[in-house]
Amino acid sequence: EVQMLESGGGLVQPGGSLRLSCAASGFTFSSYAMSWVRQSPGKGLEWVSAISGSGGSTYYADSVKGRFAISRDNSKNTLYLQMNNLRAEDTAVYYCAKEAYSDAGPDSWGQGTLVTVSS
Amino acid sequence: AIQMTQSPSSLSASVGDRVTITCRASQGIRNDLGWYQQKPGKAPKLLIYAASHLQSGVPSSFSGSGSGTEFTLTISSLQPDDFATYYCLQDYNYPWTFGQGTKVEIK
């Protein structure tokens, strides 16, 4: 069974940093691209970032480019999102998600972790 | 970035109704589109991939169609478990973009 468990969320002040982790199991982690998708309270879904299976290619939404960094450790089956210079508008539930097949959208999601940016 | 315009933003329907939700892309995206269902406090669930392919385990009452710029999600007979918010997602190129969502409520 495919499972993903996010961690690392919490309350952080504007301008602060946070690193999210996503521990994956039940599939060959290195064979799949992974994404982060967020959802602000009461709002819709927003794709944030993606990384190829090897980690050699990364992609970002304009809203986080230059502030967030996605990475993965295939030896640990873990996905990361380093978030720097956080803003109030980054407040959201952050989901990690596994691509369905090559270059396709996600077919499996974690339960999400809440990030709150507030003073 | 490709914009996805989803309509309607909400609808009220009764059990047994046929429901149609539409997504329009700002440029052609072949059939690189998925449909997701989300219930409050839960992660999204994939219903349809590649515009018209039913994800394993999803009831056959759900179907998708379209290519290029116009896409449709149809629920042939609405069931109580189907009341939720639905999103389209284009995975044609990065940055991926979601539609704004359609909330399906009980009439």
- pLDDT tens profile A6-58: 999 999 999 999 999 999 999 999 999 999 999 999 999 999 999 999 999 99
Do B43 and A59 count as a contact with CB atoms less than 8 A apart? no
Note whether A51 and A79 are within 8 A (CB). Answer: yes
Identify the pLDDT of residue A101: 87
Note whether B4 and B25 are within 8 A (CB). Answer: yes
Q: How far is CA B90 from CA A6, A9, A33, A85, in A?
A: 24, 27, 16, 28
Residue entry with tokens 């999103």: B87
- Per the prediction, chain A carries an average pLDDT of 97
Q: Name the token pair of A113.
A: 């972790």
Note whether A95 and A63 are within 8 A (CB). Answer: no
> B55 contacts in A (CB within 8 Å)?
100, 107
Q: What is the CA radius of gyration of chain A?
A: 13
What pLDDT, in 10s, does the model give residues B94-106?
Answer: 999 999 999 999 8
Lowest mean pLDDT among A10-24, A95-109, B37-51: A95-109
User: Phi first, then psi: what are they for A64, rounded to 5°?
Assistant: -125, -5
What DSSP designation does B40 have? T
Do A59 and B94 count as a contact with CB atoms less than 8 A apart? yes
Residue entry with tokens 């315009």: B5
> A37 contacts in B (CB within 8 Å)?
44
Total beta-carbon pairs less than 8 A apart between chain A and chain B: 59
Cα B2 from Cα A106, distance rounded (Å): 18
Across the interface, of A62, A105, A110, the residue whose CB is closest to B49 is A105
Q: Which of A95, A88, A90 is nearest to A111 (CA)?
A: A95
What pLDDT, in 10s, does the model give residues A64-94?
Answer: 999 999 999 999 999 999 999 999 999 999 9
> B38 contacts in A (CB within 8 Å)?
45
Identify the pLDDT of residue A102: 83
The model's confidence at residue A62, banded by pLDDT at 50, 70 and 90, is very high
Q: Name the token pair of A70.
A: 């996605």
**DSSP labels for A62-115?**
TTTTTTEEEEEETTTTEEEEEE-S--GGG-EEEEEEEESSTT--EEEE---EEE
Please determine, for residue A5, whether its predicted confidence score (pLDDT) is greater than 90. yes
Q: How many Cα atoms are found within 13 Å in the side-chain-facing hemisphere of A36?
A: 34
